[in-house]
Amino acid sequence: MNALTAIQPKLSLGDWLADLAVDALIDEADLSPKPGLVDRRGSGAHTDLHLGLMHASALALWPSFKAMAEAAQQRGEIALQLREDVGRIGREGEQEMLRVTGGVNTHRGAIWALGLLSTAAALDVNMLAPEQVALRAARLALLNDRAAPVTGDSHGAQVCRLYGVHGAREEAQLGFPAVIQQALPQLARSRAAGAGEQNARLDALLAIMTQLADTCVLYRAGMAGLTCMQSGARAVLAAGGCASLDGRRLLRDLERDMLRLRASPGGAADLLAATLFLDRLQHGLPAQLGSH
Ligand SMILES: CC(C)(COP(=O)(O)OP(=O)(O)OC[C@H]1O[C@@H](n2cnc3c(N)ncnc32)[C@H](O[C@H]2O[C@H](COP(=O)(O)OP(=O)(O)OP(=O)(O)O)[C@@H](O)[C@H]2O)[C@@H]1O)[C@@H](O)C(=O)NCCC(=O)NCCS
Ligand SMILES: Nc1ncnc2[nH]cnc12
């Protein structure tokens, strides 16, 4: 131990995972230019959201992510009790989000995805590769939370019924394929090609948008909106991604189309945050992580 490590405050596992989750949400919100979404330039296709609100919401969720990680440490295994703990903490987190934002839904999907992933990470800190964490999160998501309200009238539930697609719940239950199979590989490819970090993250977002049945887009813009999102994102990547001039031009076209349709890929944005979380997590525990 040297003088510097001696004075560094101890960080618990829950602190660290909550920091990673909130950082991922703030990095997602700040990333610009994102088509249809809130970013540093403005509110995208939203009238009730802005960057300050996204930041306030992200920060307000820190105690929820920490509590989920601590529940995982206490329970120590993937079982119904842990699923019901995180379900309750997640619902309390949603209430806190709504209190801080004055009733605006900023991060419902992110609480779900990052909550499951924080819990899954805390269950086994020796297995923090993205696929391993996503698999544990999927096993947890497959358990049926008996205390969850069965209303079936959320926007996601409505469009899943109408169009026969999989939404946020199934994305988690399948082990986050949009993150594991699309976003993380694209992030690595764009970084390796020298795209620069912001462009690589935008490319990762687009990779998610090429495939995802984003229920936010479906709710506002129907199947035409979803097809427009997916084909527009494919075109940007096929043209060389956001670091290329052709890709940037097509990204502007995609943004114009999304705004015309009032479509905002909020689900894809949540999964980009999940991507950034898993990307950082795989570098392992920080040195100052003290006793948990
Ligand atoms: C199981 C739940 C995820 C509930 O799912 P369900 O689909 O029934 O409910 P929704 O309320 O629709 O929430 C799902 C949110 O997930 C995001 N999302 C959308 N599509 C996907 C997808 N294919 N894969 C993954 N994630 C997806 C999306 O969240 C973002 O969008 C929100 C803003 O939406 P928007 O439509 O723009 O705004 P609204 O105000 O709602 O409507 P407008 O009138 O403006 O159009 C924002 O929150 C982003 O985060 C979907 O909204 C789960 O939530 C659940 O059961 N929770 C209970 C607690 C729990 O069990 N937790 C466990 C561990 S944490
Ligand atoms: N940047 C963003 N804009 C709009 N909705 C979102 N949901 C999650 N992130 C978002």
ipTM of the complex, rounded to two decimals: 0.95
Strand partners, 289: 11
Domain that holds residue 277: 12-147+168-281
Q: 164 φ, ψ to 5°?
A: 65, 35
| Per-residue pLDDT tens over the stretch 82-116 | 999 999 999 999 999 999 999 999 999 999 999 99
* Cβ-contact 158, 50 below 8 angstroms: no
Identify residue 120 by its one-letter amino acid code. A
Tell whether 183 is covered by a domain. Answer: yes
Tell whether 91 is covered by a domain. Answer: yes
Tell whether 247 is covered by a domain. Answer: yes
The answer to whether the CB of 168 is under 6 A from ligand 2 is: no
CA of 205 to the centre of ligand 1 (A): 17
Identify residue 149 by its one-letter amino acid code. P
The answer to whether the CB of 38 is under 6 A from ligand 2 is: yes
CA of 55 to the centre of ligand 2 (A): 11
Q: Distance between CA 77 and CA 136 in Å, rounded?
A: 10
Tell whether 162 is covered by a domain. Answer: no
The closest alpha carbon to 227, from 273, 261, 266, belongs to 261
| Per-residue pLDDT tens over the stretch 21-49 | 999 999 999 999 999 999 999 999 999 99
Hey, whose CA ends up nearest to atom 32 of ligand 1? 266
82 burial level (CB within 10 Å; 0-12, 13-18, 19+): buried
Q: Distance between CA 177 and CA 138 in Å, rounded?
A: 10
Return the ligand number nearest the Cα of 267. Answer: 1
* Cβ-contact 171, 178 below 8 angstroms: yes
Tell whether 175 is covered by a domain. Answer: yes
What is the three-class DSSP state of 218? helix
Residue ranges of the chain with pLDDT lower than 70?
Answer: 1-9, 290-292
Full-model pTM: 0.96
Tell whether 80 is covered by a domain. Answer: yes
Identify residue 217 by its one-letter amino acid code. V
Tell whether 222 is covered by a domain. Answer: yes
Q: How many domains does the chain have?
A: 1
CA of 112 to the centre of ligand 1 (A): 8
What is the three-class DSSP state of 146? coil
Tell whether 89 is covered by a domain. Answer: yes
Q: Distance between CA 183 and CA 217 in Å, rounded?
A: 19
CA of 240 to the centre of ligand 2 (A): 25
